[in-house]
Amino acid sequence: MIKCPLVQNQKIKEIECLENIDIADGMIKETSLPDRFKVEDWREICLNCPNHRED
């Protein structure tokens, strides 16, 4: 489980984090982002998150 700043640092599954990273990086279409993660400036928050992986 990973703390996610998109949902007030609640813990989310690692696969959800990885999917959000791929969406933020443009590898998956933005419409795939689940509603609960759609906050203002979500992409910037995700890209600057310490959990964001550049692998």
pLDDT for position 10: 97
Q: How far apart are CA 37 and CA 54, in angstroms?
A: 20
Bridge partners, residue 5, by sequence: none
Beta strands in 1-55 (DSSP E): 2-4, 10-12
Q: Encode pLDDT of 5-55 as tens digits.
A: 999 999 999 999 999 999 999 999 999 999 999 999 999 999 999 998 765
pLDDT for position 55: 56
pLDDT for position 53: 77
pLDDT for position 1: 94
pLDDT for position 20: 96
Domain ranges of the chain: 2-47
